[in-house]
């Protein structure tokens, strides 16, 4: 049974996922409003390059934010880094709401992206460090659930905006980006520090208190975990890696496998086609004959599918399905859905065909794609990177992975408008190929991590775990760990 306090803390922090979901999702319906197009894109209401810039500068901001995410999380704590990033997101959303030209809109999107880039790196790091191994998939998966909720709400906010008049059609929806980060910033005052970070600061009594909160009344488990954390982090402190050395270590021969897998997972979150379909779904719907309010209504229903998929993941898949199998099976599933959608778009994408059933079938495939992505990927791509990276490199490594994700999103957001104009439904073939390639990578190169402690995951990548998990307890709450001499002086801490 997962302690209620742990779930509550994780939900507060997972608001970072909600902020990202709303900020990312709201642009799809915003681009569908004619009033927005004429206000930002010029008198014709069409400008593929500027449309791509409005979308991609959000991703540029994400990439920029990741540069300081690891350093800030390690120095100032995961807790206050999350709070600061929420503040940045508030400023970005405010600028978008008040935008009087495309430049102001783009700068607002950039700041919102910067805040979300930090959140995407630090939120799963924090949640992974407070989660027990048997429930880590579900607890960290709450971030993916909140992302889906954010997308869902953003789509319906955008649909509601269609019933407003003038610029209120898009200003009011953009203003709805503000409540989420406000709630997150306030929530940061009530959540504890990461116990791992506290131990790294040698604040052992506070770490003990936090672990007690997380474990409930199981004092033995608290003492054992605290002793284990202290052992590993003290071994790490003896090496004393700097922030610069941490960046170098991520690409060293010893860590490059797990670093590359963490980056690959988040990059494939983009090249699976999910972000393209989310951001440009109005264009896809138009390709099969649905425009205007009908297109916005379909977008709202599309958001529901993501929530349904996340519910399936949390209650039936998280910590029950092997992570590796979930990823490679999911990749094959997405390829099939996109292939069917591509074929339907090719045959029924011309409004002159008059085949409404074929167009509806194409939309159904997009809906099934959305649900499948939520089940197989929306949470898993955040769970696995947060657990395969060692403590000393976790925040920095997640920052690098989010940076790679952002760069891939920038590329896609720039080429997608032009690709849709020039090749139409054939653009789907890119994502069929990338998903099939990813399935092979997951099957052959990604070790299975579900149900394992962070220390056991260390062994999967060839490291020797030097901590003896057996502890003796004294005075009811003190523990000492019998630690044998390491077989090698090359010891990694994964906590």
- pLDDT band of 110, cuts 50, 70, 90: very high
d(CA 300, CA 28): 11
68 pLDDT above the threshold of 60: yes
DSSP alpha helix (H) spans, 374-466:
380-388, 391-422, 428-445, 454-460
263 and 160 both lie in a single domain: no
Of 70-84, 102-116, 345-359, 384-398, the one with minimum mean pLDDT is: 345-359
DSSP at 373: H
Instruction: Report yes or no on 411 lying in a domain.
Output: yes
d(CA 436, CA 432): 6
Instruction: Report yes or no on 68 lying in a domain.
Output: yes
Instruction: Report yes or no on 225 lying in a domain.
Output: no
Average pLDDT, the chain: 83
Question: 411: domain range?
Answer: 241-477
- pLDDT band of 120, cuts 50, 70, 90: very high
262 and 173 both lie in a single domain: no
Whether the Cβ atoms of residue 52 and residue 177 lie closer than 8 Å to each other: no
169 and 318 both lie in a single domain: no
Structural domains of the chain, count: 2
Of 22, 23, 34, 59, whose CA–CA distance to 292 is shortest?
Answer: 34
Q: What b-and-e string marks burial along 91-128, b requiring 16 or more CB atoms within 10 Å of the CB?
A: bbbbbbbebeebeebbbbbbbbbbbbbbbbbbbbbbbb
DSSP alpha helix (H) spans, 131-218:
136-161, 168-175, 179-187, 195-200, 204-215
- pLDDT band of 244, cuts 50, 70, 90: low
264 and 324 both lie in a single domain: yes
Quick one: pLDDT at residue 90? 97
Quick one: pLDDT at residue 491? 33
Quick one: pLDDT at residue 354? 55
d(CA 120, CA 403): 10
Whether the Cβ atoms of residue 227 and residue 479 lie closer than 8 Å to each other: yes
- pLDDT band of 481, cuts 50, 70, 90: very low
Quick one: pLDDT at residue 455? 64
E strand or H helix that includes residue 322? none
463 and 394 both lie in a single domain: yes
> What CATH number has the domain bearing residue 339?
1.20.1250.20
179 and 245 both lie in a single domain: no
45 and 159 both lie in a single domain: yes
DSSP at 463: P
d(CA 263, CA 65): 16
| HSE value, Cβ hemisphere, 13 Å, CA-based, for 450 | 15
E strand or H helix that includes residue 478? strand 478-481
Of 393, 427, 408, whose CA–CA distance to 495 is shortest?
Answer: 393
338 and 413 both lie in a single domain: yes
Instruction: Report yes or no on 346 lying in a domain.
Output: yes
Quick one: pLDDT at residue 394? 86
Highest mean pLDDT among 53-57, 128-132, 240-244: 128-132
Q: Which residue has the tokens 């600028």?
A: 95
Instruction: Report yes or no on 199 lying in a domain.
Output: no
Instruction: Report yes or no on 231 lying in a domain.
Output: no
132 and 22 both lie in a single domain: yes
Instruction: Report yes or no on 451 lying in a domain.
Output: yes
159 pLDDT above the threshold of 50: yes
173 and 249 both lie in a single domain: no
432 pLDDT above the threshold of 90: yes
180 and 246 both lie in a single domain: no
Instruction: Report yes or no on 214 lying in a domain.
Output: no
What does the pLDDT average to over 98-102?
91
296 and 420 both lie in a single domain: yes
């Amino acid at each position: 049974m997962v302690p209620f306090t742990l779930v509550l803390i994780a939900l507060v922090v997972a608001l970072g996922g909600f902020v990202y979901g709303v900020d990312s999702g709201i642009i799809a319906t915003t681009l569908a409003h004619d009033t927005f197009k004429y206000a930002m894109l010029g008198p014709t209401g069409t400008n593929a390059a500027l449309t791509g810039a409005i979308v991609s500068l959000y991703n540029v901001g994400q990439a920029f934010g990741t540069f300081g995410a690891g350093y800030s999380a390690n120095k100032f704590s995961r807790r206050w880094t999350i709070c600061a990033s929420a503040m940045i997101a508030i400023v970005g959303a405010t600028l978008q709401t008040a935008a009087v030209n495309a430049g102001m809109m783009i700068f607002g999107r950039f700041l919102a992206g910067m805040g979300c880039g930090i959140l995407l790196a630090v939120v799963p790091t924090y949640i992974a460090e407070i989660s027990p191994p048997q429930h880590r998939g579900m607890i960290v998966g709450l971030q993916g659930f909140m992302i889906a909720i954010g997308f869902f709400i953003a789509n319906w906010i955008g649909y509601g905006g269609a019933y407003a008049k003038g610029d209120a059609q898009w200003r009011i929806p953009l203003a709805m980006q503000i409540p989420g980060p406000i709630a997150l910033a306030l929530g940061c005052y009530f959540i504890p520090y990461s116990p791992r970070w506290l131990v790294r600061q040698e604040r052992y009594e506070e770490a003990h208190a936090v672990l007690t909160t997380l474990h409930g009344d199981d004092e033995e488990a608290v003492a054992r975990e605290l002793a284990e954390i202290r052992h590993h982090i003290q071994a790490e402190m003896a090496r004393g890696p700097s922030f610069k050395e941490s960046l170098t270590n991520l690409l060293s021969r010893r860590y490059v496998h797990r670093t590359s897998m963490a980056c690959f997972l988040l990059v494939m979150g983009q090249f699976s086609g999910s972000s393209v379909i989310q951001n440009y779904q109005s264009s896809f719907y138009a390709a099969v004959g649905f425009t205007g309010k009908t297109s916005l209504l379909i977008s709202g229903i599309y958001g529901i599918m993501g929530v349904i998929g996340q519910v399936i993941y949390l209650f039936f898949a998280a910590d029950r399905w092997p992570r590796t199998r979930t990823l490679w099976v999911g990749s094959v599933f997405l390829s099939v859905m996109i292939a069917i959608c591509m074929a339907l778009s090719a045959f029924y994408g011309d409004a002159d065909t008059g085949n409404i059933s074929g167009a509806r079938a194409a939309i159904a495939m997009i809906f099934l794609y959305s649900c499948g992505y939520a089940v197989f990927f929306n949470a898993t791509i955040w769970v696995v990177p947060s657990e395969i990276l060692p403590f000393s490199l976790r925040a920095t490594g997640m920052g690098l992975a989010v940076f790679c994700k952002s760069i891939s999103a920038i590329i896609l957001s720039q080429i997608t408008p032009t690709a849709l104009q020039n090749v139409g439904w054939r653009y789907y073939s890119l994502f069929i190929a990338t998903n099939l390639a990813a399935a092979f990578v997951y099957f052959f190169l990604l070790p299975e991590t579900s149900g394992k402690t962070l220390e056991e995951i260390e062994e999967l990548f060839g490291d020797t775990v030097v901590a003896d998990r057996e502890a003796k307890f004294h005075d009811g709450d003190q523990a000492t760990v019998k630690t044998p001499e390491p077989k090698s002086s090359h010891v990694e801490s994964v906590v």
